[in-house]
Amino acid sequence: MSSAPVAIVFGARNVGRAVAHERRRAGWQVVAAARTDETLAALSDADPAIVTRSGDARSQEFVDGVFESAADLGEIGLVVNAITAPPRDQSFGGGPISEAPPDRLASWMDGFVPMAWAIQRRGARSLGASGTGTLIQVAGGSARRGFPGRGPWGAAQFAVRALTQSLAAEMRQRGVHVALLIADGYIETERRPLGDDPPEEILHPDDVAAAVAYLSGQGNRAWTHEMVLTPSAEDWTP
């Protein structure tokens, strides 16, 4: 068992991949989880020292197994949930509420809420047992305000924001820092490349990873429980 702290990263495809690599550069051990072997193979090719686990974080059994693998390496000091799995067979956000079929809300909730529930439950227990560490839930701008055509996605984001706020209040007295990190803007990914846009108009996964590093590096005297990142060239809406 190493003395280096252990970070667990769920959703290691885009933002999660950047977080995993940043923590490795900082000297941490990393356990990364994702749904597909392809995603994890790319991560391992870049850094074979990252421990990978493939599975669906809706399953509490899978999530528990990831935590057990991490505990075998050393003390868990950071848990990051960067999973976003919205439906791909419809417009982003779920479309207008008045035109949506009855099951539209459930499909969007299922792409976000069950994973957060499973990860936060186990994360709170694991970090609470040691009385230290940070749990960070990554969310989008829809966690801050509703948008037209994105009601189902906003409902899922608001639900997870409420869970995270509640958990933060529950864990403060136990020495565990819980934070919501909102990426309020598009993030550059394979599906959403930068293209000809100025880089200041879109977030990069490394921007989110840097924010995770800041939050996880806060001492015991003062904690940030909610942080919002916005592209610097976009209009900012309070």
| pLDDT tens per residue across span 24-65 | 999 999 999 999 999 999 999 999 999 999 999 999 999 999
Average pLDDT over residues 123-149: 96
Average pLDDT over residues 135-144: 95
- Of 189 and 23, more confident: 23
Residue at token pair 């977030």 = 203
Task: Using DSSP, state whether 192 is helix, strand or coil.
Answer: coil
CB atoms within 10 A of CB 128: 16
Lowest-pLDDT choice from 14-23, 31-40, 46-55, 80-89 = 80-89
C-alpha–C-alpha distance, residues 158 and 140, integer Å: 10
Q: Which CATH architecture has domain 6-229?
A: 3-Layer(aba) Sandwich (3.40)
pLDDT band at 236 (very low <50, low <70, confident <90, very high): confident
- The answer, yes or no, to whether residue 102 has pLDDT greater than 90, is yes
What is the biggest distance separating any 2 CA atoms in the chain, rounded to whole angstroms?
A: 55
Average pLDDT over residues 107-112: 92
- The answer, yes or no, to whether residue 89 has pLDDT greater than 70, is no
Whether 76 and 6 have beta carbons less than 8 Å apart is answered as: yes
Handedness of CA 42, 43, 47, 51 (dihedral sign): negative
C-alpha–C-alpha distance, residues 50 and 122, integer Å: 21
Residue at token pair 């916005």 = 230
Element (H, E) at 9: strand 6-10
CB atoms within 10 A of CB 148: 10
| pLDDT tens per residue across span 152-208 | 999 999 999 999 999 999 999 999 999 999 999 888 877 777 677 788 888 999 999
Average pLDDT, rounded, for the chain:
93
| Percentage of the chain modeled with pLDDT above 90 | 83
- Of 84 and 217, more confident: 217
- The answer, yes or no, to whether residue 1 has pLDDT greater than 70, is no
pLDDT band at 133 (very low <50, low <70, confident <90, very high): very high
| Surface-to-core class of residue 99, CB atoms within 10 Å of its CB (0-12 exposed, 13-18 middle, 19+ buried) | exposed
C-alpha–C-alpha distance, residues 31 and 28, integer Å: 10
